[in-house]
């Protein structure tokens, strides 16, 4: 019954010239999404990837277990000295992420261009 989460890894460059890795998620983010969220993040090189963007544009449902996976990703990124930004959340999930304090550790932006402009 839980919808699978798909994830895709893209490479892009910020206007500043900094290389950025984008993790694009699609579907629900819930307790069943560990491989898609943590697994795909863990395939990234800790030495060469310094900035990670999380794309939630195609995510419609995130529950507290899914938010916990995002926090786990942020923890691993912080321990590796990586910067994480997120974009594409709906107004509601923007509010929920802010409520739980994620904004302290990951900037939230309306779209990819706005996020890249800060890198």
Partner 1 sequence: MMTAARATTVEVRLPSRLGFEKVAMSTAAAVAKLMGFREERIDDLKTAIAEACINAIEHGNRLNEKLSVGVVLSAGEDALEIKVMDDGKGMKTLPSKPDIDRKMHGEEDARGMGMFLIQALVDEAEWVVGTNGKGSYVRLVIRLDKEEA
Site string for partner 1, 4-43 (x = CB under 8 A): --------------------------xxx-----------
Q: Figure out which of the listed residues 9, 14, 44, 68 binds partner 1, where binding follows CB under 8 A.
A: 68
Work out whether 80 is an interface residue with partner 1 (CB under 8 A): no
Other Cβ atoms within 10 Å of 1 Cβ, number: 3
Q: Which stretch binds partner 1 (CB under 8 A): 6-14, 15-23, 47-55, 69-77?
A: 69-77
Q: Figure out which of the listed residues 2, 16, 18, 118 binds partner 1, where binding follows CB under 8 A.
A: 2
DSSP class per residue in 51-70: EEEEEEEEEEEE-HHHHHHH
* Angle made by CA atoms 85, 90, 91, in degrees to the nearest 5: 100
Tokens 């893209």 appear where? 10
Contacts of 79 (CB under 8 A, 6+ apart): none
For residue 14, give both structure tokens: 């910020």
Query: Nearest to residue 42, comparing CAs of 7, 88, 87, 68?
Result: 7
Q: Figure out which of the listed residues 102, 115, 116, 119 binds partner 1, where binding follows CB under 8 A.
A: 102
Work out whether 57 is an interface residue with partner 1 (CB under 8 A): no
* Residues engaged in binding partner 1 (CB under 8 A): 1-3, 30-32, 61, 63-65, 67-69, 71-72, 74-75, 78, 90-92, 96, 99-102, 104-105
């Amino acid at each position: 019954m839980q919808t699978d989460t798909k994830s895709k890894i893209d490479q892009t460059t910020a206007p500043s010239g900094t290389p950025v890795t984008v993790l694009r998620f699609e579907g629900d983010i819930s307790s069943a999404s560990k491989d898609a969220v943590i697994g795909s993040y863990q395939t990234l090189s800790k030495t060469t990837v310094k900035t990670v963007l999380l794309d939630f544009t195609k995510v419609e449902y995130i529950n507290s277990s899914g938010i916990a996976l995002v926090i786990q990703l942020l923890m691993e990124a912080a321990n590796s000295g990586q910067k994480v930004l997120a974009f594409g959340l709906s107004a509601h999930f923007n509010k929920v992420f802010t409520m739980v304090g994620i904004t302290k550790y990951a900037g939230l932006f309306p779209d990819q261009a706005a996020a890249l402009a800060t890198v």
